[in-house]
A = this chain, B = another copy of it.
Amino acid sequence: MPRFFVSADVLQSTTATLEGEHAAHIKVLRMGPGEALTLCDGQGHEADGIIEAVSHDGVQVALGEVRASASEPKLKCSVYMGFPKADKFEHVVQKATELGAYEIVIFPCARSISKPDAKSLAKKLERWQKIAVSAAEQCGRGYIPQVLALASFDEAVQRACKAEFSALFYENEHTLSLRRAVEERPFSTAALMTGPEGGLTEAEVNTAHAAGMSVCSLGPRILRCETAPLCALSAVLYAANELA
């Protein structure tokens, strides 16, 4: 069933009028009166609706009861990634949203080659957030992950280590596997941190470790910077029984 994200107040009423992009999309789908769709507030609430009329003024929808979205993981798992080059972060935003990330956070690292200035970052954030919205719509999520940019690695560590489980993945870590770290104790919030193309520096790893993050391995194969966060997210969601 097609899904559209609307503002939360729309769900408070028994009817809704969809305009602009949503109305255009419904016309492209050639949907008409009697057909069903789902409206979702992107904050975990949704309601099914039936199209009553399609006109130049928009699409009239009769709305059913509001319910909690059934497709959201209970585990709130945030993905933290050091600024990579080019459009790799777009890929990570799209895939992490599909997989079920709670939020997606980007920050500069010592070895980040791309460190956009404030103006270009604002534009990029807008673009990344749109990618998250569209991926969330397509995969049927009830919650739109926030895409956030932080000013420094230290700020990222401070924020990440507030999660009940926080891990930093480091290719030179050979003793602690993600699985051993995950199995230590149950958690309902998680932060998974990975570096840019060149990897994290030893100083960064030490900072994260000192702040209380688990420094983990993802195995002996060196994953590309855009593969590592998605592999870790898939594994942690699997471990938390969220791929079920």
Within 8 A of B (CB), among A65-85: 70-71, 73
Q: Does A118 contact B (CB under 8 A)?
A: no
Known A241-B177, A244-B179: A221·B70 in contact at CB below 8 Å:
no
A29-37, A48-56, A104-112, A223-231: which one contacts chain B? A223-231
A-B contacts besides A138-B224, A140-B221, A234-B235, 20 pairs, CB < 8 Å: A71-B220, A71-B221, A73-B219, A99-B221, A99-B227, A100-B219, A138-B222, A140-B222, A178-B244, A179-B241, A179-B243, A180-B244, A218-B243, A219-B237, A230-B231, A234-B238, A235-B237, A235-B238, A235-B243, A238-B238
Query: By the criterion CB–CB under 8 Å, are B179 and A222 in contact?
Result: no
Q: Does A239 contact B (CB under 8 A)?
A: yes
Which residues from chain B contact A237 at a C-beta distance below 8 Å?
219, 235
How far is B201's CA from A178's CA once the two chains are assembled, in angstroms?
36
Query: By the criterion CB–CB under 8 Å, are A177 and B244 in contact?
Result: yes
Q: Does A242 contact B (CB under 8 A)?
A: yes
Which residues from chain B contact A139 at a C-beta distance below 8 Å?
221-224
Give A223's nearest chain B residue, CB to CB: B98
Query: By the criterion CB–CB under 8 Å, are A99 and B220 in contact?
Result: no
- Measured as residues with beta carbon below 8 angstroms from the partner, the interface class of chain A is 35 or more
Which of A71, A73, A219, A237 neighbours the largest number of chain B CB atoms within 10 Å of its CB?
A219
How far is B98's CA from A179's CA once the two chains are assembled, in angstroms?
19
Q: Which A residues contact B (CB, under 8 angstroms)?
A: 70-71, 73, 95, 98-100, 138-141, 177-180, 217-224, 227, 230-231, 234-235, 237-239, 241-244
How far is B235's CA from A234's CA once the two chains are assembled, in angstroms?
6
Query: By the criterion CB–CB under 8 Å, are A243 and B231 in contact?
Result: yes
Chain B nearest CB from A15 CB (Å) reads 28
Chain B nearest CB from A184 CB (Å) reads 14
Query: By the criterion CB–CB under 8 Å, are B179 and A221 in contact?
Result: no
Which residues from chain B contact A238 at a C-beta distance below 8 Å?
178-179, 234-235, 238-239
Query: By the criterion CB–CB under 8 Å, are A227 and B140 in contact?
Result: no
